[in-house]
């Protein structure tokens, strides 16, 4: 994959297919674009916020454990 850069820790690619391939791991089947240094780049999701939400919903909450009250 031709990873160009990341924006808010989300990868941006040179092709639509690369963005869609990355997004598929989060159940995302759409893409959006950005202009970075004058170049059109592609990211998964219809919007940037959709990607952030999808990542949050698939990550396991490791900090929600209270320790069991020992």
16 contact partners, CB below 8 Å, separation of at least 6:
31, 42
Band (pLDDT 50/70/90 cuts) for residue 16 is very high
Per-residue pLDDT averaged across 40-69, rounded?
A: 75
* DSSP designation for 26: G
Q: What are the tens digits of pLDDT across the range 28-41?
A: 999 999 998 899 99
Asked if residues 44 and 28 have their Cβ atoms less than 8 Å apart, the reply is yes
Best CA proximity match to 23, nearest among 61, 66, 53: 53
């Amino acid at each position: 994959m031709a990873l160009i850069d990341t924006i808010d820790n989300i990868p941006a690619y040179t092709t639509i297919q690369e963005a869609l391939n990355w997004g598929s791991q989060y159940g995302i089947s759409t893409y959006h674009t950005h202009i970075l240094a004058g170049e059109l780049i592609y990211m998964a999701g219809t919007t940037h916020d959709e990607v952030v939400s999808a990542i949050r919903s698939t990550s396991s909450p490791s900090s929600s454990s209270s320790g069991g009250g020992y």
